[in-house]
A and B are shown apart, each in its own frame.
Chain A
Amino acid sequence: MAYQTIIDRKPSTYVARAAKHTALWLALAFAFLPLFLMLNISMKSNAQFYTSPFGLTLPFTWSNWVKASAIVTPYLANTAVVAISSTAMTLCLALAAGYFFARVHVPLSGFLWQALVFLMMLPAIANLTPLFILLRDMKLLNTLWALIFVTTAMGEAFAIFVLRNFIEELPQELFEAAEVDGAGHFWQFSRIVVPLSGPMAGAVGIMHLLRAWNDFMLPLVVLRDPGKWTITLGLMRLDGEYVKYWGIMMAGYALSSIPIVVLFFLTMRLFIRGLTEGAVKG
């Protein structure tokens, strides 16, 4: 009987295996289509695009990339300033706050924690209108500072959740030994927590950086002056041009994706860690 089943299974396993790989490659082909077309069209002049929109056309119009990079670079620079500053700020504040929640339970701890849990449920988008008024009254409209502060404030809850957990799981003996020697909280934080936090802070940081990079509604509301626009707004403008230069548009899309793609592949392991931490805690 058992022998029979093994014989029976062999051919079907082969067929199943082929079907499995075919399905995966088919899904991949479709998933890569936007990427392929983006790169392909980015090397076409408008004339080439209208004669053959999707096939390969020679010669490649490399000048599209030059023109697109002149358009996109300032936007990318603004985005980098916002995303990097906000990530640095989030990590500093959230690591310290995580230490506060993880190490001791003092009056207000419980209340502040509840406030943080509530913040996680608060949809950022619902805050947009009153936030706009607040930023206007603070004279922060049309500044990158506004984006940095608000992105940090909205991203902190998640970061504190993960980092608190991380600090709680550090070996307790480290802190005890330090306390026996009379070390205060600042010493413990800067000599124990900060040096050990590297990988976890990296995971949280990369998640925050990507979110800040892709933010759209907040910059849309805050930034008036095109010279201060972040990349997402810049891309919208590129798409909204009345006369479309498809090649330049696609080169712009590709150029604005490159930093994120490179960053992602450099930090993939950290990113997946952040993702699973978030999935467990979220």
Chain B
Amino acid sequence: MKARKIPLNKVVYHKEIYLFVLPTVLLVGLFAYYPASSGLVHSFYRWNGAEISEYRGLANYRELLTDIRFWTSFKVALLLGLVNVLKMIPALAVAVLIHRVRSPRMQYAYRVLFVTPMVIPMVVMILMWKFFFEPTSGVLNQALRSSGLLDLLARADAWFGWGVFSHFANPAWLGEPALAFSALIIWGFPWVGTFAVLTYLARLQGIGEEIYESADIDGASAWTKFLYVELPLILSMVRVNLVFVIIATLQDAVLVLLLFGPTGGPGGVVQVPALFMFQEAFLMLHFGKACAIGVVLTAIMFVLSKLNERFVRIEH
């Protein structure tokens, strides 16, 4: 039941109800709304966080627009967002496969097994991948070497002239500007370790058994069933998740920070907006400029959330 509307003359009788929301208002006001508005105000100031605080209009924003690193960071985030959207596919595929497993016991077993590696904390996972990318003792290079793929890559390199792979040296995945973005793509392979698998699976299992039975009676093949029963449901879920994935990518600084350090990799080639903001604020002490980046990020996030709302509303 929705909240019941209290007529104005009865509000006094219910006045104690305000005490329920008061602590939340105070806490959220102080630690979320106050900093957000202070950030908005200070984005128009030259500010080192302490004594120097001088109004300079839109100068911070103008500086950003002419800063090549600002544009790079958004380009990287955009590409990374697209990559992360594509990385949803394996998780979806796994959810469909598990859903298709006949025996309930096997299905349960698969579910538990797939969940286990997901539970490893994100930071540990990223650091494990940092270890995988180590030039000499890392798993990736060892696997490439022993499988002969490195030779293949080196030959392709000689042909195309990338100047990245050779027979003699181990590729430095995190140190070579041309490889840095590939490392961001590869990390997390086989990309099934997201909790999204669980939500997809829960939705798929909402499909009634009778739909499958009638499809069987009509002699539908596994492929047809996928195309007409599961895919439409999946596409609706993807649509809901699409913007969430992009928003999450835009906000994330931890992945690049842990793999490449605060400057965003060799020459800053994989710098992302959130980390760029961190760098400006806490390494360069350009607090005003950092606030401006924060405002831009918030604005983009706001637009994306609104877009998402419309997407979801259309669906209902």
**A interface with B by C-beta (< 8 Å):** 2, 5-6, 9, 12-13, 16-17, 20-21, 23-24, 27-28, 30-35, 37-38, 49-50, 53-54, 93-94, 96-97, 99-109, 112, 115-116, 119-134, 136, 149-150, 152-154, 156-157, 160, 168-169, 172, 184-186, 189, 213-214, 216-217, 221, 231-232, 235-236, 239, 246, 253, 256-257, 260-261, 264-265, 268, 272, 275-276, 279, 282
Contacts and interface: CB of A to CB of B under 8 A. Distances in A.
Given A131-B35, A172-B1, A261 B119 contact: yes
A260 B119 contact: yes
Nearest to B4: A104
Contact of A126 (B195, B199, B294): B294
Contacts of A160: 24
A129 B32 contact: no
B221 A9 contact: yes
Contacts of A34: 117, 120, 125, 128-129, 132
Contacts, number: 261
Contact of B274 (A100, A125, A246, A264): A125
A239 B277 contact: no
B101 A282 contact: no
Q: Name the 8 nearest CB pairs between A and B, nearest first.
A: A126-B294, A153-B31, A130-B39, A130-B35, A100-B21, A100-B20, A5-B219, A96-B20
Given A34-B120, A127-B36, A275 B127 contact: no
Contacts of A185: 14, 16-17, 20
Given A217-B253, A257-B121, A2 B219 contact: yes
Contacts of B2: 168
Contacts of B16: 184-186
Interface string B234-253: 00000010001001001111
Contacts of A106: 6, 11, 14, 17-18
Nearest to B254: A216
7 contacts: A24-B94, A101-B3, A105-B3, A119-B32, A132-B281, A214-B122, A217-B254
Contacts of A20: 97, 100-101
B21 A154 contact: no
A275 B195 contact: yes
Given A28-B114, A125-B297, A153 B27 contact: yes
Contacts of A115: 28, 33
Interface of B: 1-6, 8, 11, 14, 16-18, 20-21, 23-25, 27-28, 30-36, 38-39, 42, 49, 90, 93-94, 97-98, 100-102, 110, 113-117, 119-125, 127-132, 137, 139, 142, 189-190, 192-193, 195, 198-199, 202, 219, 221-222, 240, 244, 247, 250-254, 257-258, 274, 277-278, 281-282, 287, 290-291, 293-295, 297-298, 301-302, 305
A50 to B, nearest CB: 8
Contacts of A153: 27-28, 30-32
Given A24-B94, A149-B31, A185-B20, A54 B251 contact: no
Nearest to A127: B35
B122 A268 contact: no
Nearest to B39: A130
A161 B241 CA distance: 19
B28 A156 contact: yes
Contacts of B128: 34, 37-38, 253
